[in-house]
Chains A and B, each alone.
Chain A
């Protein structure tokens, strides 16, 4: 037996020595880890959120999503020439060099370079060339006028000298953001260092929401943001050592349809579905009241958002009447396949929608697939109905991407092959409009048109929720769910970093 003990001791010592960062590290639990720290290559939301901390960008967004100067202010010299002036003091790279117009030029050039194979290359095809005028001024020359051009310049700026030698930014990020890359012990953990005070911040991937909550309760992580069932949020918020913040968000959840399908391809059926869904009840009971019903891609507080849109009210008799009109009366009822991922929340939602649609006589069969299969099917158009969310939508180019008849994959994300000449026309008009005012008007009528023809059934915008332990102080939430609040968050030096477990927490289970 002693041998066994020694054996266990040996392996525990030899293998168990994963070094842990100091106690005062601020730890954030994530459901999905950031995978790619090269801003030219990253396409997923967690990577994009972390890259914002590591790199600085030319342009940022106000809460209503209008573009704001970040690294630079800009002016349109001509409709096809934009001049950017880097603002002083210019941020520095970790080696002390100030960011220059050359760095900006090289970054966007390398995104445009087919050899980089950046997934964002398409957005910048309109750039004809980039000219550096001085250390802090540069001009972007465009092929076609685009009044929204500055709002696309959100790629993190990389140092020009490292781009030249093909530095592996995805492994060893070098930027001029408020944080620097510190360590990546394995691909579930990522440690960043804040430049102003060397505070360490660690992102830990914990996929299970219950385990994530338990870790917060036990003080092993200090901050959780979103991706939690509302019941858990309410439960955690009861603990005296955890504080809750929430804020209206822009994460847009919708039902998507295949417009080539003989059943859901009919506008009447989609309208019937829209009337059959009781969004108020779902928001109240399943989303914990922390969501706003949606009628369009952009929420009303977005600069393109419209508060004028009249959504589809919960009205089962109306839904049935529409089904009748579509020829589904008596014992003939539409049967739909609803695809979703295996995520518990999505399944829960799917089950409710299934039941609500059943009430008006639409039979739904749910098919849940692992993410790779699900996403592949959606992309390939192998679906009748699905639900997904758009995260971080800010610029109106999404209208062309998602609803223009030329944007069928792989040209865009019009996955359901929605074709409507009126929509196409409105999109083109809006893009061509030079006046901000007229543009806004056209986008409003476009959104009205989309609400009538229902390429998507808009469901709701989820609020952002952050739960923080008393070990940290001063974290503020953003509408878009980014982690910008980490720039100011403070580690409290108080000795009671271990949260007190209350009677309530103990009584669970």
Chain B
């Protein structure tokens, strides 16, 4: 068990290292220069050079990369080139907003998706099945950038139930969470249904039936926990993606999360902030997946600890 976790942790670390190196080289390769964005065009050439040296941007790229990694190793994320604020501070402002939005969206997805999937699976080929799967397909097919403005119009302007955008007030999270959560709910509902249906054929359900449990009881107590495994993986993957910042949704709703931070930083060529945001996003993604895998292993006795493949 320990060996397994250690091995997974090591590969997760390699993954993170790969991601940040990739980001580092990508962002330095794009045209555009933080010194220009920061100083504007009126600054003196000498000041420009001084700033470039101060930021270490004059060094060869591989040296900059090494410097970056070594400061990371000392848990130093640096300062935003643009606003001069410590990046840790910036991240700490944004992470709660991102957590808030993605967990609520996940909640919405589970609340809608799981009951729909259950309903569809227990009444296969009924009107309920078609209805909920139809809804699910619908949810998957609406792009966020279309649904977001539509929801604002209905929820905020016509019904006046929710604020238009921003993060003030307890109900501000509902509309963006709905925008994000619907697509996820749809995928979740389909997953719950299909994994339930797979299990429903298996022998132990017949046994449950023999024990005198009603089909619904049998499904809830026996099939559902078993069907949870693939669902869990999916939720993990989705949550990982959500925490990575839902750039479009955050843009539409002016939600001050990590995705928005990353986009703005890319525009300003604020290298340090882009790297830190991506680092944050990839670490969450990789570790959420690691956690899902571990949970999976823990829940499913069939998985061999020695060989996780």
Contacts and interface: CB of A to CB of B under 8 A. Distances in A.
A binds B: yes
Interface in B197-242: none
Interface stretch (B10-18, B33-41, B128-136, B279-287): B33-41
User: Which of the listed residues B32, B51, B84, B269 has the most CB atoms from chain A within 10 Å of its own CB?
Assistant: B32
A457 B267 CA distance: 27
Interface in A1-25: 1, 4-5, 7-8, 11-13, 15-16, 18, 20
Contact of A214 (B38, B51, B152, B251): B152
Contacts of B44: 121-122, 125
Contact of A121 (B43, B99, B110, B254): B43
Given A4-B111, A186-B94, A214-B164, A401 B36 contact: no
B31 A20 contact: no
Given A15-B99, A114-B50, A117-B50, A412 B254 contact: no
A351 B50 CA distance: 40
B268 interface: yes
B103 A220 contact: no
B158 A506 contact: yes
B159 to A, nearest CB: 11
A204 B267 contact: no
A505 interface: yes
B74 interface: no
A509 B156 CA distance: 13
Residue in A123, A211, A509 with the greatest tally of chain B CB atoms within 10 Å: A211
A211 B99 contact: no
Interface stretch (A97-105, A309-317, A374-382, A461-469): A374-382
Interface residues of B, number: 65
A373 B166 contact: no
Interface stretch (B167-175, B184-192, B290-298): B167-175
A122 B111 contact: no
Contacts of B122: none
A333 B230 CA distance: 61
Contacts of B266: 370, 372
A43 B83 CA distance: 11
A208 interface: yes
A170 B83 contact: yes
B165 A413 contact: no
A409 interface: yes
Interface string A182-215: 0000111000000000000000111110110011
Contacts of A118: 43, 47
B26 interface: no
B149 interface: yes
Nearest to B92: A186
A35 B82 contact: yes
Contacts of A171: 84-85
B170 A16 contact: yes
Contact of A375 (B37, B51, B90, B149): B37
A187 B93 contact: yes
A7 B107 contact: yes
* Most central of A5, A187, A501 by chain B CB within 10 Å: A187
A354 interface: no
B46 A372 contact: no
B54 interface: yes
B30 A11 contact: no
A474 interface: no
- Chain B interface mostly: helix
B37 A208 contact: no
A124 B125 CA distance: 79
B173 A188 contact: no
Interface in A482-509: 501, 505-506, 508-509
A117 B256 contact: no
Given A208-B252, A220-B164, A373 B30 contact: yes
A119 B99 CA distance: 37
B139 interface: no
Nearest to B270: A372
B96 interface: yes
B157 A501 contact: yes
A94 interface: no
B306 interface: no
B48 interface: yes
Contacts of B40: 43-44, 119
Interface in B85-121: 85, 90, 93-94, 96-97, 99-100, 103-104, 107, 110-111, 115
A218 to B, nearest CB: 5
A120 interface: yes
A370 B267 contact: yes
A58 interface: no
Interface centre among A18, A206, A409 (most CB of B within 10 A): A18
B259 to A, nearest CB: 13
A379 B173 contact: no
Interface string B261-273: 0000011110000
B156 A214 contact: yes
A188 B90 CA distance: 11
B42 interface: yes
A217 interface: yes
A382 B169 CA distance: 47
B94 to A, nearest CB: 7
B84 A1 contact: no
Contacts of A36: 82-84
Interface in B148-164: 149-150, 152-153, 156-158, 160, 163-164
A111 B170 CA distance: 45
Given A117-B50, A123-B42, A380 B31 contact: yes
B42 A186 contact: no
B175 to A, nearest CB: 11
Given A206-B254, A218-B164, A8 B36 contact: no
A372 B107 contact: no
B100 A11 contact: yes
A210 B165 CA distance: 11
B42 A401 contact: yes
A373 B254 contact: no
A372 B268 contact: yes
Contacts of A125: 44
B253 interface: yes
A166 to B, nearest CB: 12
Interface of A: 1, 4-5, 7-8, 11-13, 15-16, 18, 20, 35-36, 41, 43-44, 114, 117-123, 125, 168, 170-171, 186-188, 204-208, 210-211, 214-215, 217-218, 220, 370-373, 375-377, 379-380, 382, 401, 409-413, 501, 505-506, 508-509
Nearest 8 CB-CB pairings of A with B:
A376-B32, A43-B40, A15-B100, A372-B32, A119-B43, A8-B107, A119-B39, A20-B168
Interface of B: 30-33, 36-48, 50-51, 54, 82-85, 90, 93-94, 96-97, 99-100, 103-104, 107, 110-111, 115, 149-150, 152-153, 156-158, 160, 163-170, 172-173, 251-254, 256, 260, 266-269
13 contacts: A1-B115, A12-B100, A15-B103, A114-B46, A114-B47, A117-B51, A119-B39, A119-B40, A119-B42, A211-B252, A376-B33, A379-B33, A410-B48
